[in-house]
Amino acid sequence: MRSITTFAHALLLLVVGAPALVTAQQPITLSDVEEGLPEIREDEPKLGHFSAEEAAKYLDRAALNWQKSKNCATCHTNLFYMAARPALAEVLPDSGEVRRFYESYSRVRWQKKGPTEAQGFWPIVVGTGLTFNDAQTTGELSDVAREVLDMMWAVQREDGGWNWPHCDYAPLEIDDHYGVTLAAVTVGIAPDGYAESPQARAGLEKLRTYLENNPPKSLHHRAMLAWASVRVDGIATPEQRNQTLAELLALQLDDGGWSTAGLLTDWRGLARDDGQPLATDISDGYGTGFVIVVARELGVPADDPRLELGISWLLANQRESGKWFTRSPVQDCGNLISNAGSAFDILALQSCGKLPGWPFGTTEPTGR
């Protein structure tokens, strides 16, 4: 694990108290959570202040509950848990069970028969979780993460895309485009120069062809492209990246946050299943955390007044359970995006120095 700064230690002391209290905390485990998904309610009271410990407890319970109840890796709950949870390791240790679950895909589930092209999304989800987790912990690409990323290319379609869940769970599980950009971000972030490996170089060439032939449908699509283009060349030009950044920042609401639905309004034909208009005027966890992370990756400094306002919104809007709420923007899917949103909010706080150890500093694009 990377060492944390004196500032970060001081911050953690302010949040959770003396080190002796931190070491006394016991990890939340699978045996501590019930089977069956809890309700994610919009009317849950706000905590009134930021608690890193409550955030860690919520992320653990949500990921482990999904694991016990559904037994699968998924974008909306445990994928970004893998990316964000290490930022809270000094506050509360995790049990390691989610990491081992992700590793079990390669070491157990796929030992006799690997994923097929029809199941192309699995290696992206599992590989992304493992890769982000590696970058946040050891800083080195683990053997199991490399194995899964290599599997990802084996199930890539000839057109350069992957089969992705079409659950109408916007913006994460609704069309193939998101899976392609998520794969690009992951390969760009992967430590140890993975993007320059022969498998990655060939796969990225096909990926670029897919993106050329399938233009983005929404600002969220373009934001993912901009994020990927920071690390992998041939995805978006600097001019496109700057235009997307300007559009993202322009959608900040008066209270300092962003709305997930606000990132989707230019998606032609996208509509809520209840016929109501998209709720673009309500700040939420996913929209706020996502925009701050992308903005930081695109070079906006942490002390930019717009990001400072966004961070203030996050600090003031954590719920009593430890989560940040996000309403399902299109289909009523239990507001599960609140789980991914809460993870992005931790990443946003980390990216702006409110939590220690941000490892994803911007770099020159690779994968040429």
- Read off the CATH number of the domain in which 125 is found: 1.50.10
- Total structural domains in the chain? 1
Residue 4 pLDDT class (50, 70, 90 cuts): very low
pLDDT score at 152: 98
pLDDT score at 366: 63
User: For residue 363, is it within any domain?
Assistant: no
User: For residue 190, is it within any domain?
Assistant: yes
Q: What is the mean pLDDT of residues 227-235?
A: 97
Is it the case that residue 20 has pLDDT exceeding 90? no
What does pTM read for this prediction?
Answer: 0.92
Is it the case that residue 146 has pLDDT exceeding 50? yes
Assess contact for 297 and 230: CB atoms under 8 A.
yes
Q: What is the mean pLDDT of residues 65-92?
A: 97
User: For residue 322, is it within any domain?
Assistant: yes
What residues contact 61, with CB distance under 8 A and at least 6 apart? 28, 32, 33
Is it the case that residue 18 has pLDDT exceeding 60? no
Residue 6 pLDDT class (50, 70, 90 cuts): very low
Q: What is the mean pLDDT of residues 249-258?
A: 98
Residue 106 pLDDT class (50, 70, 90 cuts): very high
Is it the case that residue 364 has pLDDT exceeding 90? no
User: For residue 136, is it within any domain?
Assistant: yes
User: For residue 13, is it within any domain?
Assistant: yes
Is it the case that residue 273 has pLDDT exceeding 90? no
Assess contact for 338 and 283: CB atoms under 8 A.
no
Which has the minimum average pLDDT: 30-34, 288-292, 294-298, 356-360? 356-360
User: For residue 361, is it within any domain?
Assistant: no
User: For residue 170, is it within any domain?
Assistant: yes
Q: What is the mean pLDDT of residues 180-192?
A: 98
Is it the case that residue 91 has pLDDT exceeding 50? yes
Instruction: Round to whole Å and give the CA distance between 155 and 120.
Output: 5
User: Which among 340, 271, 283, 279 is positioned nearest to 312, based on CA atoms?
Assistant: 283
Instruction: Round to whole Å and give the CA distance between 48 and 10.
Output: 21
Residue 367 pLDDT class (50, 70, 90 cuts): low
DSSP tally for the chain: helices H, then strands E:
14, 0
Residue 7 pLDDT class (50, 70, 90 cuts): very low
Which has the minimum average pLDDT: 216-220, 233-237, 361-365? 361-365
pLDDT score at 331: 86
Residue 128 pLDDT class (50, 70, 90 cuts): very high
Q: What are phi and psi of 365, to 5 degrees?
A: -55, 145
Domain that holds residue 239: 6-351
Percent share of the chain, pLDDT over 70: 92
pLDDT score at 22: 40
Assess contact for 68 and 62: CB atoms under 8 A.
no
User: For residue 362, is it within any domain?
Assistant: no
Is it the case that residue 95 has pLDDT exceeding 60? yes
Assess contact for 319 and 46: CB atoms under 8 A.
yes
